A = this chain, B = another copy of it.
């Protein structure tokens, strides 16, 4: 697309360092944006898909040849991921996927609680008629997605609804921060987490929230947002505990403990 080489098919084998990496989804999907962004997307997908795992060392060279691009955009994308805390570099040795601990998840949701509960309050107060319509529309879209059983679409609608409420609350800084936090927790596989319970339960959790905002009831909106986040947080903390081989019978107890410690006061 840009310069002559490319599509030359990489050298048949490659790295001994971290084992062959399952060839990554060949980028493809994200065409259009810069290669660095495509690399970030591809790595994220590879992580959530379990194709790259914590504890193993990978290198820029390795990824570059696996994706048929040069080291520059790979390096650039990886550095951004590193800054976001998703990978960690070991000088002259490679980089490693950072494991998201249950405590991290709890802390992230504590922060989201601190930001989004007031945002819900403000949204209930500040939303104009047009914005209320958009909120209602987004909410209906989520129920629609849930009705067809489409997990991923439901999760996307969930995200969009949260973003919309933050926007209506009128704090673009908070919108950006929450966006960033979400990309971190996304690694746990929200989809996987919601699989256990029917998707329309996820959709229904928003009913009280949306109705409170539409009714302009600030306190009810704040409370609904708090409960929704707490419930999501506990699901994901449990997920993270399971990913750490926590014995199933202790998960419930530990989840309550971890989330309680992190959330108290927010």
Contacts and interface: CB of A to CB of B under 8 A. Distances in A.
A173 B181 contact: yes
Given A111-B171, A115-B111, A265 B76 contact: no
B265 A107 contact: no
Contact of A262 (B108, B115, B170, B176): B170
Contacts of A173: 104, 107-108, 110-111, 181
Interface stretch (A117-125, A187-195, A233-241): A117-125
A114 interface: yes
A222 to B, nearest CB: 9
Interface in A38-77: 76
Nearest to A85: B176
Nearest to A120: B265
Interface string A149-181: 000000000000000000001111110110001
A121 B265 contact: yes
Chain A, interface size: which category?
20 to 34
A5 to B, nearest CB: 20
A253 interface: no
Main SS at interface, chain A: helix
A126 to B, nearest CB: 9
Contacts of A85: 176
Interface in A226-249: none
B107 A114 contact: no
Contacts of A264: 122
B80 A111 contact: no
A99 to B, nearest CB: 14
B174 A111 contact: yes
Q: Which of A108, A264, A265 has the most CB of B within 10 A?
A: A265
Nearest to A72: B72
5 tightest CB-CB pairs across the interface, nearest first? A107-B173, A122-B265, A114-B114, A118-B266, A107-B171
10 contacts: A76-B79, A80-B83, A83-B83, A104-B172, A104-B173, A107-B172, A108-B173, A110-B173, A111-B173, A177-B177
Given A85-B176, A108-B173, A177-B177, 12 more contacts: A76-B79, A104-B173, A107-B173, A107-B174, A110-B174, A111-B115, A111-B171, A115-B115, A118-B266, A169-B265, A170-B261, A173-B181
